[in-house]
Structure 1
């Protein structure tokens, strides 16, 4: 009997050893790395444990030539912030000089992200404070022209074409999707984009489902043309350069029909109006009127003998705010203003992230009025057809002081 028991004990030991040897080991994720297989899985350091503080990790993904990278987050849990300023994950198409496909934090899990080449990079940055379990992501090699609910976006280089949300027009676009279209024209051409149909979740500040459009091929707030949502198509858009970036994002709640847009390349317009030295007949020009006006206006001296009261009603918008970014293009200055208060909104396009409001303003003559980053101003001006603020030397722009507050409040109640 003891021999039988010994045999049974030996058999159980063998079975236990065999089961243990077949139990899959949990993968250990490290900070960054190079991945060159056609598919793979990676995660934040220590996932699903808490990721470390004060860390920067970069993962470089390369799939076979002729394919693109399709990346999906299975899980994401980083410190939450409306602007993702602390802990975040950046995803770039083409790790050498690629556009940023998105920045993510909190627990929002975007849809599939598609590169425009056979490479992609993922950057994770953490600060010294709050942490979470990080992220788990999978990638695979996809065909560049593969579309449907899972894939959208890509690089568009044909002279004309269309872009549309996943599932269009059969059914609503899915929740949790991010699409990025990079439209590239020849150097001497620009891009005209028109939306035929447009229907996204409505919100006054487009905080949920929205479309972002940028001049150039990367996410750059100084070059942002607009942020759109709701069921009113944006006005036709013409790029300033030979590249345009269109990004669509849907959150994890309501969805709608989506959109279809059409683009085409067209010759770049002449930059300036000139007169022929041998004839009194001026050369034909296609310069936008506001730029032609700016060129003439900037030769004049900047006017400073103005008052709040005299300019309030003649201005389309009146705000107080802080200049947070500045970029010079040509003779003009493009600024982003963090808004303190709005007294006359008019048609001014205002973006909101949480409690923070901001707007884009073009200063026609970069030295008049003269602005400095970080300072507070009272700004009165006009708006263009896209809602961007326009400021010329004749507009009222002065440093904002506490004593101005009561005057502005009084003017706000005045009928113009």
Structure 2
């Protein structure tokens, strides 16, 4: 986390070079950010109340951004630090595509992961930050500007499409790479009793673990809906077919001002409403994205807080040795050779190797997350899907946005060790294979995770290995 003096230095440099809008104080040595306001300007800065001091508890701040007509709003985050929660239930920042919280929600954000660029489809955008009465952190600092939606004499980007089938493609396709600083929005509407399927024939966007820079995002519903994010995609792997839940689908393509690539070409068609997506998960209802299902639970549903738990030591992260499963009833061990596991790694003792600090340093990735599904793989392996809480080290690990959560796929070389259970939260450390998948050997560091462990992991992360 940046020191306050460093942050003030950054703010002073930015203020002198780009100026501040009337939504903040004009003291150029120490700008003051307020709780909400109207920002009407070509560009400017927006920050949480009191930034970089900790934001206040039990508040709701609403900022409305307006840039000149004919432009769209581009919002880029410089610093982001809001109380982390896998579902963004307690403190969070909502971003809306217009001047109201009744229009399409572009996203809900919390934690220390800096969101990618957010781009509206009109000249207005709304930010709404909600905090509860407990943990407070630094908040956020972002820069907004008005930019022109892409269009030239050869090709217009985006638009409203009402035919039962059609095409979507990036600007300049297929002659050359898409341009930087592009925002395209396609609103697809078909007959009320139909849904929309999108398939890509070609797909090459700038690769990034979190798809922060160039990406295409799909939202159920239209621009005037508080629609739910289906998925956000980048890189050179074509997404599986996307299927909407209703007859309206908003597709948004964004490129930042740096690296560009070949782009994509896809086509959509309408299907009967009872069509179900076979390969795309529209996201759990308890995700950390734009779903209204992720609102803060009632006080009675939140865990009671008695005393502040102590910061755990290495010894408190105990590994639970899995119990041996009994053989199925009626099956006797007549031929012991048949019980030898196919995977020789499973013959090893199920014992974690090394301390938490040693494992942290020797592992290519260190994350905390919730196990959402388990499935047997080839030769005694286990496929594990994780909903990410926080990544302390990610390296080459592939992290994708599935529905409303950041998701990771892991492969455990032995399905019985390390032991994880569906629905549990864990600290997980391991290696990354050539395809970007996390791999776990029987000795990998895996331990149950509680919020109090975050401080310990951050302390280790800040120490040299």
TM-score with structure 2 setting the length: 0.43
Looking at CA atoms only, which structure, 1 or 2, has the larger radius of gyration?
1
Give the TM-score normalised by the residue count of structure 1.
0.47
* Greater fraction strand: 1
